[in-house]
Structure 1
Amino acid sequence: MALSRALRGISDRDSSGGASGGDSPGGQTVISDSVVAKVAGVAARGVTGVHSLGSAPVRAFGAIREALSGTDLSQGVSVTVGDTDVVVDIVIVAEYPVPVHEVAAEVRASITRAIEDFVGLAVSAVNVTVNDVHHPSEDDQTSRATASGIPRETPRESDNTMSASDKIKNAAEDLKGKANEAIGKATNDDSKVAEGRAEQAAASAKKAGENIKDVFKD
């Protein structure tokens, strides 16, 4: 819910209308949903066996946002706040080899304690989704690739990207050749016709070469 919820702290009053237990005034404490989500995120991050929060797209977007404006502590957390209770949904990446069910149970307990103690709301449910498992070897591979200057994309991905780019260029050159040939015929310009045909021939030759490379890659 985007709407903030209010916790009313109205002091007890006696039958005469005066405040009992001192002169502290009653009032209203407004706690934003984002505060509850942040408290839950902080509590989850502190649990042993939690590598990170959020699904892969959320983590990727969060990395960009963190680079620009600092850490998003509520990443991967959504809350539904009622008048007196809250339901938390959280997505985590667990650390291998910590048992997943133990991590989820501790995340649930940690979030419940934090919200009840810090915010003062009862927690009716904490739904934990384990989206991925992180293995220490993944960090080692990333470190070696970064140290050696090797891009993280695979050769196959690079080849496919280059091939797609070449095919687009070849198609554009072929269309240009056909256009020049048509213009030459319309204006009786033999040199323009020849230029267009030459461009089409060059595009066809490149296309044939790409097809051969595709065969060998497959």
Structure 2
Amino acid sequence: MQHDPRANTQVTEVALPAELTEPLPDDASTATIIARTAAETALGVPGVHHLGGIAARAADQLRKQLGRSAGTAGVQVDEQDGALEVQVAVVVSYPHPVLDVAAEVRQQVTAATRQLSDLRTTVDVRVLDVHGPFDDEQSPLGRVAEQATDVVEQAAEATGEAVKLAADATADTTKRAVDATVETGERVRDSASESLALASEQAADAASSAKDAAEQARDVVVGAAGRTRDRAADAAGAAADAADDAAVAADAALDAATAPRHRDQP
């Protein structure tokens, strides 16, 4: 037996459950440390058989998974408005007086938690059951607690499944949106490519038409020049022939003028 000068009561050393002997993480919050300390202190009070019932432990586990508070087996610590609310659930060993055990747990847990924090702290002790020689078999309360545990576990599983379904739906929606965006981009790109190809074809057609028109104009000019050249040559030939005829006529006239006259001509 050890004497606690703050609590003015006797504290009994007991073997702690494995979950209370595991080292706390370096970044453990004040609420987590207080929960561990409250559990260890309550287990040391004479008449406390164990902390928490099946349903209480399952509810504590669910609250911790949801990140609402800190706790350990049979102890729940909530920090609200600058104050700490500590709830301790105990099972009292027969034949210890239930009210005395609860009062002792409240006193010792209050003294222990005040050493860890300056926040205003309230301690609520709940007696879940009394354990005695007649509890070798599961009591009706234990059966009810076990059923409650099943309900809590099912609720936790349903919550996890709902979260998973929501995450899957969000991922699927995001994937569809990305696919739609990619498809729209590909359509825009294809449309732009088709427009560019059509414009290129039209430009090529226009260039070909311009080339054909230029060739036709060149042929017209060349033909006209050839025809003009031929006409000029024909005119020059005619002029030469006319000149030759004129020369012949001139020679004939000259011969006629110079020929001797007959005597019988007056």
TM-score w.r.t. length of structure 1: 0.40
TM-score w.r.t. length of structure 2: 0.34
Max Rg structure: 2
Q: Hey, which of these two has a bigger chunk of helix by percent? A: 2
